[in-house]
Amino acid sequence: MTLAACTPRSLPESLNGLFELALDLRWTWHHGSDELWRALDEETWEATGNAWLVLNSVSGDRLEDLAQDPSFQQRYLEQLAAHHRFVHADTWYSDECASNLGEGIAYFCMEYGLSESLPLYSGGLGVLAGDYLKAASDLGLPVTAVGLLYQQGYFRQAISTDGEQLEFYPYNDPTMLPISPLRDSDDQWVRVVVPFPGRHVRLRAWKAQVGRCELLLLDSNDPRNEPGDRGITSELYTGDPEKRLQQEMVLGIGGWRLLRQLGRRPSLCHLNEGHCALALVERAFSWQEDHNSDFQTARTATRATNLFTTHTSVAAGFDHFSGPLLRLYLAPWLENRGLSAGQLIDLGSEHPSAGNDAGDQGLNMALLALNMSGRINGVSRIHQKVTQTIFQPFFPRWPADDIPADYVTNGVHTPSWDSPESDAIWTRACGQDRWRRPLQVSCPMTAISDEELWEMRRLQRKRLVSYLRRRLSSQHCEQNPASNRAAACGLLLDNETLTLGFARRFTDYKRPDLLLKDPERLIRLLASRDRPLQIVLAGKAHPYDRRGKDIIRRWKAFAQRPDVEGKVVFIEDYDLGVANQLIQGVDVWLNCPRHPWEACGTSGMKVLVNGGLNLSQYDGWWAEAWNRDVGWAIHPGAVFEDLHSSSEDDLADARELFDLLEQQVIPGFYDVDQQGVPRRWLQRIRASMDQLTAVYSANRMVREYVDRFYLPMVEQGKARSPATAAEILTQYQEIRKHWPRLRFSAFNASQSEGRQTFSVEVYLDGIDEQRIAVELVAEASEQGPRTVTPMAMQHPLSGSAHSFLYECSVPPRPAGHYTPRLRVRDERLNLPLENPAVLWLR
């Protein structure tokens, strides 16, 4: 690939490799080349952390000087050689998986948070996708990610002197972003076309290199597009449903077409959230074309290798599009596919209207994704339950416990979140390449003394305090006439004071105002002379979220109270860069979402590697991770059924939070020995670092996706040949015809030797008995847990065609607790996802 066309400058011949280094986002987590960027242009590097921008803004004279500088040359050549070694090294995947993922994984997501210098994300979902991709690179996994290049991305935040959130949308100049135009083998800039009503929308393709993985990005800002279409990829998450649908068409349809145009044939497609569900339909269309087949066969063939991950906690969180809007937009795309708009909408409708093209039902993108996928998963153990509950309406007559949603708990890309100090400590304790191979589950740091660990914490806190002061100064802290300058500028923050951090989206369910439920009690903690507390806050409220904005206003007003004495600071424009600084320096990270609304939550995982401790609602990942040794939980042991929603619950949780702070957290931090070292606090830090860092890493998460999903799914996909897919389809069309006539009769129980035997007669109307499973179900009760026991076929019933006797023995319970049911059985399919037919006796 030549870079000339995308680089506004040329480099001295001997430094040409800098292009390669600057365009690999590995510099966001691997700091080997930092000194090169600093040498080129220290000011730009410190201000933006964007190596590509540094390379493009450094003066020609400076470059010529460095090209002649032997010591720079040497460091540069070392880095270049190290980079080549990294790109070609053996990896976990090449060693352990023997290329069993075939042509690899296509990963789709609406947003990617890789670096603050590539602002294509709004929050947790994007940061997770970014961390996934970085860990996939570490492990050598063949992943190609697909996303959108937003001209403006998510809004940038400032806060006015009276606490009002201001929103700005600065333009992302693509030539200054660490990406390059994607070129084909003829060196042409790759473009993709997606049919829209009455026109074709042209998309330009870009590439971000993320270590060994690629992130391909599409944008619609092609001068040949209509003005309105050029703005399709302008902002992320605007409220306009029409624009949202346009974006999802560009991402899903355009994204899959892009892969195809590049000649890629991914073995599996992983959707991170349902926004990109149209990719699965486009994937089926491609298959249909390749095999000269019809849509339903294509769907049956491809879905085995589609994985859908959901992060949503409420049904209202799914994208819904209205029938008329869909019909308008999808018609040109669906032309000549043998699939009408009505049939497509049925795949994502709670109440299908049998392909009726005039029906007015809308489409739920999560349901479409589900109906196109072979497996689905939530992102924590609690979230699996939540997902089963919100998907239950899509599986009529199936109990929530049987809804086929799995879970993989999220993790963070540890090397992206460690501090220089913690990096040094971990390297000493556990070795250099520890984050690239499967993480040792335990690394107890026995070689590190309490004093060293405490010194690490103190240095990190000190760096945080100076960062906060710099930030506050750039927030014009001096210009607020109403406030005390020293307080507003963070000059009253203290390097040795217990520092609590809270940063996340300011939205109702995250309860960023929980500490404000009792302002007087909070002030007592902040103002304590001998055991004070200081708090750093950050977070954006969605532009339409009035309540979220109101909470920001209340915090700003609180921070300005004279009796708060500058101990609470609000950092504007929360992004990856801010997050990075906060999670390195805080002693305690606070998270208090309303149970069970936090699908997983990841910010708390980022403090683990740095010896920060978590004080969090017992929800999401913390409900799995928490024990008394590693941190503090609000309302520990809460189960999913404890739906938290009332304001009394908020008050009770706030009281519990204050109790924990007053009785455990604050006394624990200040409980120091003669040498000034808080031994018990450090014990907790050791437990948290040792027990949790590896487990809540993206390294573990990605390997779990590979072992439990990608590998078995790709295996199953190989078995779905065109012939098998067609056969499955025909067989199930046949079964559907018979299904309404299936019947149970003669359900009987008998007791013997402490066991209970149940038998039931089943009429199958000619369906092959091998395709049917009969099960005896007892729901959980005071008699015992839920059980599902297979009933074995004993013999056909003589004298009545298509009837069979089934039987099983179970532990005794009142007979009325047991009910038989009948479902399809087929090891070729993922059931009941691919066929939710079920018949209960009652």
Nearer to ligand PLP, 29 or 295 (CB): 29
How many angstroms separate the CA atoms of 746 and 286, rounded? Answer: 50
The least CB distance from residue 117 to ligand PLP, in Å, is 13
User: Which CB, 327 or 700, lies closer to ligand PLP?
Assistant: 700
For residue 123, the minimal CB distance to ligand PLP (Å) is 4
Q: How far is the CB of 80 from ligand PLP (least distance, A)?
A: 30
Which of 248, 418, 575, 587 is in the footprint of ligand PLP by CB under 6 A?
575
Q: In DSSP terms, which residues pair with 320 in a beta bridge?
A: 364
**Is residue 602 near ligand PLP by the rule CB under 6 A?**
yes
**At closest approach, how far in Å is the CB of 629 from ligand PLP?**
22
Residue for token pair 């892009």: 258
Q: Which is nearer to ligand PLP, 402 or 573 (CB)?
A: 573
Task: Give CA separation, 729 vs 264, 281, 735, 822, 834, in Å.
Answer: 27, 17, 10, 20, 11
Q: Which residue's CB is nearer to ligand PLP, number 184 or number 545?
A: 545
Residue 683 has a CB neighbour count (10 Å cut-off) of: 13
Would you say 208 or 430 has its CB closer to ligand PLP?
208
* Secondary-structure breakdown of the chain: helix, strand, coil percentages, each rounded to the nearest 5: 45, 20, 35
- Please identify, using beta-carbon distances, which residue of 126 and 348 lies nearer to ligand PLP: 126
DSSP assignment, residue 740?
G
Closest separation in Å from C-beta 106 to ligand PLP: 24
Sign of the alpha-carbon dihedral angle for 697, 157, 519, 584: positive
CA–CA distance, 384 with 406 (Å, rounded to integer): 6
Torsion of the alpha carbons at 237, 238, 243 and 245, rounded to the nearest 10: 40
Instruction: Closer to ligand PLP by CB, 124 or 252: give it.
Output: 124
Q: How many CB atoms lie within 10 A of CB 669?
A: 20
**Among positions 119, 512, 601, 612, the unique one binding ligand PLP when judged by CB under 6 A:** 601
Identified binder of ligand PLP from the candidate list 280, 488, 579, 831, rule CB under 6 A: 579
Stretch that binds ligand PLP, among 222-230, 440-448, 521-529, 599-607 (CB under 6 A): 599-607
Distance in Å, CB of 272 to ligand PLP, minimum:
14
- The DSSP bridge partners found for residue 458 are none
CB of 155 to ligand PLP, least distance (A): 13
Residues 308-367 that bind ligand PLP (CB under 6 A): none
| Cα-Cα-Cα-Cα dihedral sign, residues 360, 361, 364, 368 | negative
- For residue 540, give both structure tokens: 């954006």
d(CA 172, CA 153): 8
Nearest to ligand PLP of 497, 507 (CB atom): 507
What is the DSSP code (8-state) at residue 797? P
**Partners of residue 590 on adjacent β-strands:** 615
Give the separation between CA 608 and CA 692, rounded to whole angstroms.
7
| Binding test (CB under 6 A) with ligand PLP, winner from 603, 693, 697, 756 | 603
Compare residues 487 and 576 and give the one whose CB is closer to ligand PLP.
576
Instruction: State yes or no: residue 576 binds ligand PLP (CB under 6 A).
Output: yes
* Region of 37-45, 481-489, 572-580, 742-750 interacting with ligand PLP (CB under 6 A): 572-580
- Smallest distance from ligand PLP to CB 316, Å: 19
User: Which C-beta is closer to ligand PLP: that of 151 or that of 591?
Assistant: 591
Contacts of 680 (CB under 8 A, 6+ apart): 668, 671
Interface map 127-146 toward ligand PLP (x if CB under 6 A): x-------------------
Encoded one letter per residue, x for contact with ligand PLP by CB under 6 A and - for no contact, window 43-82 reads ----------------------------------------
User: Any residues with CB less than 8 A from the CB of 714 and at least 6 apart, and which?
Assistant: 100, 101, 102, 267, 268, 305
Binding to ligand PLP (CB under 6 A) within 659-718 occurs at: none
Nearest to 438 by CA among 117, 96, 50: 96
What are phi and psi for residue 194, nearest 5 degrees? -125, 130
Tell me whether residue 232 or residue 236 sits nearer to ligand PLP (CB atom): 236
Kindly state whether residue 504 participates in binding ligand PLP, applying the rule CB under 6 A: yes
443 CB-side CA count, 13 A: 20
User: Contact 653/592 with Cβ under 8 angstroms?
Assistant: yes
What does the alpha-carbon distance between residue 295 and residue 106 come to, in Å, rounded to a whole number?
21
Q: Contact between 472 and ligand PLP (CB under 6 A)?
A: no
Region from 95-103, 574-582, 625-633, 678-686 binding ligand PLP, contact rule CB under 6 A: 574-582
Q: Residue 293 or residue 581: which is nearer to ligand PLP going by CB?
A: 581
* Size of the residue set binding ligand PLP (CB under 6 A): 11
Distance CA 256, CA 269 (A): 10
Q: Determine which residue in the list 76, 574, 658, 806 makes contact with ligand PLP, applying CB under 6 A.
A: 574
DSSP string, 756-773: EEEEEEEE-TT--GGGEE
Helix, strand, or coil here: 552? helix
Specify the residue, 140 or 612, whose C-beta has the smaller distance to ligand PLP: 612
Smallest gap from Cβ 544 to ligand PLP, in A, equals: 18
Interface with ligand PLP, residue 124, by CB under 6 A: yes
576/824 with CB nearer ligand PLP: 576
The one-letter code for the residue type at 388 is Q
Beta-carbon contacts of 60 under 8 Å, excluding residues fewer than 6 positions away, are: 9
Question: Beta strand pairing status for 787-796 and 772-778?
Answer: antiparallel
Provide, rounded to whole angstroms, the least separation between the CB of residue 600 and ligand PLP.
Answer: 7
Q: Which residues sit at the interface with ligand PLP, rule CB under 6 A?
A: 123-124, 127, 504, 574-576, 579, 601-603
